[in-house]
Amino acid sequence: MTEGSELRLRVNGTWQDVRATPDDTLLDVLRRELGLFSCRETCGIGLCGACTVSRDGKAISSCLVLALAAVEWNITTAEGLVQAGQLHPVQQAFVDAQAFQCSFCTPGFVMSLAAMLAEPPEQRSVEAALSGHLCRCGSYGQITEAVRQIMADNDMHQEG
Amino acid sequence: MIGQSAQVSDAFERVTGRLGYVINHEPPGTLHLALVRSDVPHAEIRSVSTAVAQRCRGVVLVLTGEDLKGIGIRPRFGPVYRDQPVLAIDRVRYVGEPVAVVAATDARLARAAAAEIEVEYHELPAVFHPKDAIAPDAVILHEQTDEQGPKFADIILQGRKGNVCNMFTLRHGEGLDGFRYADRIFENEFVTPPVQHVSMEPHAAVAVFESNRLTVTTCTQTPYAVRDALAYMFDMPASRVRVIVPPVGGGFGGKTYAKVEPVAALVARYTGRPAKIVLSREEEFATNSKHQSIIRLRTGVTSDGLLVARQVDALFNAGAYSDISPRLIKNGGYGAIGPYRIPHVHVDSRAIFTNLPSSGAFRGYGVAQGAWAYESQMNIIAAGLGIDPVELRRRNLLGEGDSFATGETLHDVHFREVFDDALSLFDTDTDTDAAPPEHDYIKRGRGCAVIIKSTITPSTSNATMKVNVDGSVQVLTSTVEMGQGSHTALAQIAAEALGIPYHDLQMVGPDTDVTPYDLTTSASRSTAAMGEAVRDAVAQVRQQLVTHAAKQLKIAPDDVEMRDGVLRQRGTEGTLSLGQVVSGSKLGTMTATGSFVSEGGLDAATGQGIASHHWHQGAVAAEVDVDIRTGKVRVTRLRACAYAGNVVNPVNARMQIVGSIAFGLSQALFEQIIYDNGHVANQNLSEYALAGRVDMPADLQISLMENSETTEIHGLGETCLPPVSPAIANAIADATGIRCLQLPMTAERIINLAAEQ
């Protein structure tokens, strides 16, 4: 039985009742209570990017925020980007470019790039989106390739 | 199939975050573990007070080293010497050594209770530097030689005395007497710091003791070695210990041999409940690291630039326990000689105990330390003789049929081509590249390096192929998939050999109850060694299929043809599918196990013999910009070339090289664990600097040198890592005249060296 009090979070489009203690991070609760294992702790101090989730469309480190603070938010994880079995375009681009090796960091990269794509075009910065993410396997070349594909596809849709 | 970039079969899980790493596993009733770790580097344990912790909410069990005495288990582990206690017994030897374990219903409660445990120490003198540790008056970490574990054919145990854990010696030609043929002798000391693997996934394990059987799900690179270590610890037959390895989130050597599995198994054994441990990043730094090295390199040359004699005196900092240091110093010893024809060689390489966390396997395996020394010194020699450093290397590089310093004759030798390929970075200057630096305080320079690296020899891999009655095919191996793409490559090899589409084939394992023995997923060996085992398994399965198809068709086996996954009588139209043949055979499944076993070994006194089944050959050329105001180094362009034999999956192969460059560049410029009286001062990413995407060269060229005349596969996981640091050092020296003898080449170090000039 998990300690703490009951709390309602909106995650991946669904209201979820979870239990959380005051010192639980959002990362703790997403993993322990909801089994959303795409968010992972590598550093626990907001530097590696592996725990990235979307808060109302913005990428945040879920290890740095308390679960109790997240009650008003609309939270999306990499699991929640999949719609009707279809990968999000960023996920598809990562598959097409094979932009991963051990893949522990991958959902974090995906979440930041998806959040960037949701921004108005003039505010998008690939550099900013990628800057908070570490890939120790060094898949950077293929990640850059995936980003190129994402941006090219996006420009095409904009023009279309 | 081979030669195509087949897609990873579980790509969907990888991008959606559904891949089943160990940290996701949690059977019902799982206890979570927290370790109490030593905060002193060397001490006798006077007492451990656990009374408060025992009463804390959620706590089910508290154990200390005292509890491990006389309970019928063997509480120490280690792949070579069993010298590392699961929990410190009577004495701690490094800061971070586990002293007690708390098992509670929740990870937070376990940590809270662990904080209530008080340990009283009687501190002993501590020693941190290998040179201090071999001084005559140094405190000794291990008074007696510890119990030896299973014998490894390639590990020679000798020279253990005081704080010397193990020694490797090599004597070739006239050894030190060979220096009489030299016109000049160059002598330098090269240093590399301890660095951390920082795999994104930390060490984690879940242990379950049920029906007198132990099952451990863990992210190890060596499932069978972990199984055997646990079986020995609990005095159980290996048949009752099962190790399962789900996909691993990066290993880089740091997950070889037992690490956190013993303590999880211990708690599971005591409580009868599943026990789970996940290390924090800070704990990772106290678990394992790359060996700090101090390599004194003395090289005799003729005035026309031929190397005639080399003496290697290498000290590797083993830390407090042996781990795999007894083997690594061998690779680091002959790995400091280089890919050169040197008739007279004398190597002494030692692993030294100190009061620091244990060092272990790390991508590059001692060779990166050795290459840092000899490839830096090649440029020092070139400058001393007034010979171009490229030319100096060309005059000395090993060629086909030459002998290495181990006395073995080398075949499939491509050092010259690999080296020239890397150097082609400098022949094709585009307009941008040719543009001089924008400011006069930016100095540009070029450097190169070329290396030789062995793979673990002798070694064994087995693979089982299983054809089911519906015609579906499984390949069962104990090769660990940790991002390197081995499962994809092995599936491609198997699918091609059987003649079926790659996606129709399922990889299984590792699971020591199900998948056959493999030595290790390391040493860049899996695609090559396990690939051979897979080919052998397929050949046997094909033979069975043909035999049974012949029976069913009532023809001679020689008249059966098998192509594109179906069997038929030669020259006829009608076919039998794999499933029909299996079904008709009445065997239920058709199964065969193939093997790869390589031979080798070195003489204890002379280091002569067979060190490697085949040799990894890699080279790097780099261009750097150095800001002489700040000392900041930027690698602007880099070309890496590896001899690759037959490439199975080009995209994955390329990513292994890019990953090696990222690793090498990070260690060249940034990485070092800083110890303050044995305490890690930089134990997370806030202080431990790593190269990121923006540090990668804007112009990064990867070249896989293939050989169309061979089906032999060459490992690529490490080949281009060792040359990175010396190539960058040589480029910095070319740009500024500053010669770094010590890694990392931080801005601070460059500026300080510039001030000394």
Q: Specify burial of residue B209 (Cβ count, 10 A radius: 0-12, 13-18, 19+).
A: buried
The first and second tokens of residue B616, run together, are 């990894």
Phi, psi of B727, rounded to the nearest 5 degrees? -60, -40
Nearest CA in chain A to B655: A139
Q: Does residue A106 share a domain with residue A72?
A: no
Q: Which residues of A touch B109 (CB under 8 A)?
A: 3
CB B686 within 8 A of CB B674: no
Q: Does residue B274 share a domain with residue B315?
A: no
Q: Which residues of A touch B12 (CB under 8 A)?
A: 87, 95
The first and second tokens of residue B155, run together, are 């590990």
User: What number of other Cβ atoms are within 10 A of residue A149's Cβ?
Assistant: 18
Question: B655 and A140 in contact by Cβ < 8 A?
Answer: no
Q: Does residue B505 share a domain with residue B386?
A: no
pLDDT, residue B438, reads 86
Mean pLDDT across B668-689: 97
- Going by pLDDT thresholds of 50, 70 and 90, the confidence category of residue B473 is very high
Mean pLDDT, rounded, of chain B: 96
pLDDT, residue B655, reads 96
Q: What is the DSSP string of B343-395?
A: SEEEEEEEEEE-SSPPB---TTTTHHHHHHHHHHHHHHHHHHHT--HHHHHHH
The first and second tokens of residue A74, run together, are 């609309």
Q: Looking at the domain assignment, is residue B129 inside a domain?
A: no
The first and second tokens of residue B108, run together, are 């937070």
- Going by pLDDT thresholds of 50, 70 and 90, the confidence category of residue B710 is confident
B26 Cα to chain A: minimum distance (Å):
10
Q: List residues bridging with B122 in a β-sheet.
A: B44
Domain count along chain B: 3
Phi, psi of B455, rounded to the nearest 5 degrees? -120, 155
Q: Does residue A138 share a domain with residue A98?
A: yes
B679 Cα to chain A: minimum distance (Å):
19
ipTM value of the model? 0.97
CB B589 within 8 A of CB B466: yes
Question: B16 and A104 in contact by Cβ < 8 A?
Answer: no
pLDDT, residue A41, reads 98
Q: Does residue B318 share a domain with residue B247?
A: no
Q: To probe the interface with A, which of B14, B280, B658, B699 has the most A CB atoms within 10 Å?
A: B14
Q: Does residue B636 share a domain with residue B572?
A: no
Question: B685 and A43 in contact by Cβ < 8 A?
Answer: yes
Mean pLDDT across B516-540: 97
B29 pLDDT more than 60: yes
Q: Which residues of A touch B16 (CB under 8 A)?
A: 38, 78-79, 81-82, 87, 91, 107
pLDDT, residue B208, reads 98
Q: Which residues of B touch A104 (CB under 8 A)?
A: 21, 199-201, 249-250
Rounded CA-CA distance B89/B76 in Å is 9
CB B271 within 8 A of CB B60: yes
Question: A45 and B685 in contact by Cβ < 8 A?
Answer: yes
Q: What number of C-beta contacts closer than 8 Å exist between A and B?
A: 163
CATH number for the domain harbouring residue B489: 3.30.365.10
Domain boundary among B243, B278, B313: B278
- Going by pLDDT thresholds of 50, 70 and 90, the confidence category of residue A160 is very low
Mean pLDDT across B42-59: 98
Q: Looking at the domain assignment, is residue B156 inside a domain?
A: no
- Only one residue has tokens 């198994």, namely B265
Q: Looking at the domain assignment, is residue A35 inside a domain?
A: yes
Q: To probe the interface with B, which of A54, A140, A143, A149 has the most B CB atoms within 10 Å?
A: A140
Q: Which residues of B touch A107 (CB under 8 A)?
A: 15-17
Q: Does residue A69 share a domain with residue A111?
A: no
CB B89 within 8 A of CB B69: yes
pLDDT, residue A3, reads 72
Q: Does residue A59 share a domain with residue A20?
A: yes
Q: Looking at the domain assignment, is residue A25 inside a domain?
A: yes
Nearest CA in chain A to B249: A102
Rounded CA-CA distance A26/A62 in Å is 5
Q: To probe the interface with A, which of B8, B12, B15 has the most A CB atoms within 10 Å?
A: B15
Phi, psi of B599, rounded to the nearest 5 degrees? -110, 155
Closest by CA position to B502, among listed B487, B484, B515, B520? B487
Q: Does residue A93 share a domain with residue A32?
A: no
- Going by pLDDT thresholds of 50, 70 and 90, the confidence category of residue A158 is low
B43 pLDDT more than 70: yes
Q: Which residues of B touch A50 (CB under 8 A)?
A: 200
The first and second tokens of residue B587, run together, are 């065997």
* Tens of pLDDT, residues B96-140: 999 999 999 999 999 999 999 999 999 999 999 999 999 999 999
Q: Does residue B107 share a domain with residue B24?
A: yes
* Tens of pLDDT, residues B570-589: 999 889 999 999 999 999 99
CB B54 within 8 A of CB B67: no
Q: To probe the interface with A, which of B4, B198, B200 has the most A CB atoms within 10 Å?
A: B200
Rounded CA-CA distance B655/B640 in Å is 12
B250 Cα to chain A: minimum distance (Å):
5
A72 Cα to chain B: minimum distance (Å):
24
Q: Does residue B100 share a domain with residue B22?
A: yes
Handedness of CA B498, B502, B504, B509 (dihedral sign): positive
Q: Looking at the domain assignment, is residue B120 inside a domain?
A: yes
Q: Which residues of B touch A113 (CB under 8 A)?
A: none
Alpha carbon distances (Å) from B345 to A117, B182, B333: 60, 13, 11
Domain boundary among B229, B250, B278: B278
Q: Looking at the domain assignment, is residue A143 inside a domain?
A: yes
B441 pLDDT more than 90: yes
Question: A101 and B109 in contact by Cβ < 8 A?
Answer: no
Q: Does residue B90 share a domain with residue B43?
A: yes
Q: Does residue A146 share a domain with residue A118?
A: yes
Amino acid symbol at B149: G
Domain boundary among A79, A101, A124: A79
Q: Does residue B591 share a domain with residue B538?
A: yes
Q: Does residue B752 share a domain with residue B662?
A: yes
% helix / strand / coil in chain A, to the nearest 5?
A: 40, 20, 40
Q: Does residue A66 share a domain with residue A110?
A: no
Question: B17 and A42 in contact by Cβ < 8 A?
Answer: no
Q: Looking at the domain assignment, is residue A84 inside a domain?
A: no
CATH number for the domain harbouring residue A26: 3.10.20.30
Alpha carbon distances (Å) from B602 to B347, B598, B659: 13, 14, 31
Q: Does residue B498 share a domain with residue B426?
A: no
B251 pLDDT more than 60: yes
Mean pLDDT across B468-488: 97
pLDDT, residue B467, reads 98
Q: Strand A14-20 to strand B59-64: parallel, antiparallel, or no bridges (unpaired)? A: unpaired
Q: Which residues of B touch A130 (CB under 8 A)?
A: 693
CATH number for the domain harbouring residue B22: 3.90.1170.50
Mean pLDDT across A21-47: 97
Phi, psi of B530, rounded to the nearest 5 degrees? -70, -30
User: Percent of chain B at pLDDT above 90?
Assistant: 93
Q: Does residue A94 share a domain with residue A73?
A: no
Q: To probe the interface with B, which of A42, A45, A125 has the most B CB atoms within 10 Å?
A: A42
Q: Looking at the domain assignment, is residue B286 inside a domain?
A: no
Q: Does residue A63 share a domain with residue A10?
A: yes
A156 pLDDT more than 80: no
Please give the residue range of the domain that contains residue B501: 464-597
Phi, psi of B167, rounded to the nearest 5 degrees? -140, 145
Question: A136 and B661 in contact by Cβ < 8 A?
Answer: no
Please give the residue range of the domain that contains residue A28: 5-79
Alpha carbon distances (Å) from B53 to A110, B49, B104, B113, B118: 42, 8, 10, 5, 9
Domain count along chain A: 2
Nearest CA in chain A to B481: A102
Q: Does residue A99 share a domain with residue A69?
A: no
* Tens of pLDDT, residues B252-294: 999 999 999 999 999 999 999 999 999 999 999 999 999 999 9
Rounded CA-CA distance B704/B503 in Å is 25
pLDDT, residue B314, reads 98
Nearest to A138 among B247, B248, B661 (CB): B661
Q: Does residue A100 share a domain with residue A42?
A: no
* Tens of pLDDT, residues B427-440: 865 545 567 888 99
Q: List residues bridging with B587 in a β-sheet.
A: none
Q: Looking at the domain assignment, is residue B134 inside a domain?
A: no
Nearest to B280 among A44, A48, A95 (CB): A44
Q: Strand B98-104 to strand B59-64: parallel, antiparallel, or no bridges (unpaired)? A: antiparallel
Q: How many alpha carbons lie under 13 Å from residue B152 in its C-beta half-sphere?
A: 25
Q: Which residues of A touch B655 (CB under 8 A)?
A: 98, 101, 137-139, 141-142
pTM equals 0.97
Domain boundary among B573, B597, B621: B597
Alpha carbon distances (Å) from B265 to B108, B205, B247, B307, B314: 20, 9, 20, 53, 37
Q: Does residue B481 share a domain with residue B558?
A: yes
If phi over 0 gives left and psi between -120 and 50 gives alpha, with beta otherwise, what is residue A24? beta
| CA angle at B382 for the pair B379 and B384, rounded to the nearest 5° | 110
Q: Does residue A102 share a domain with residue A136?
A: yes
* Tens of pLDDT, residues B460-472: 999 999 999 999 9
Nearest CA in chain A to B649: A98
Domain boundary among A47, A79, A111: A79
Domain boundary among A45, A79, A113: A79
Q: Does residue B349 share a domain with residue B254?
A: no
* Tens of pLDDT, residues B134-158: 999 999 999 887 788 888 888 999 9
3-state secondary structure of B98: strand
